[in-house]
Amino acid sequence: MTSRTDTQGSVTTVYQVSGMSCGHCEGAVSGEISRLPGVSSVRAVASSGEVTVVSAAPLDEEAVRTAVDEAGFELAGRA
């Protein structure tokens, strides 16, 4: 995982998700993670397995894992 705090006070974290293979997969993962409190944007890329999340504060990794599981994929960790 890579995390950084932006100058506006938001946190950008990159996660690695296994199993995504298409745009539908990206949408499913993005949709579930975007429901977490404090999340302002999510960008999933199936080809690399990377999911970039911008949030107001650092997210609980277990909450992110649960959201990814709900979408039908596996959180491999932080990129």
DSSP for 22-60, please give it: SHHHHHHHHHHHHTSTTEEEEEEETTTTEEEEEESSPPP
pLDDT band at 2 (very low <50, low <70, confident <90, very high): low
What is the C-alpha separation between 63 and 43, in angstroms, rounded? 17
Question: What confidence tens digit (pLDDT) does each residue in 11-56 have?
Answer: 999 999 999 999 999 999 999 999 999 999 999 999 999 999 999 9
Domain residue limits, the chain = 2-78
pTM above 0.75, yes or no: yes
Average pLDDT value over all residues in the chain: 92
Q: What are phi and psi of 40, to 5 degrees?
A: -105, -25
CB 49 within 8 A of CB 16: yes
> What letter represents residue 21's amino acid?
S
CATH class of the domain defined by 2-78 = alpha beta
pLDDT at 76 over 70: yes
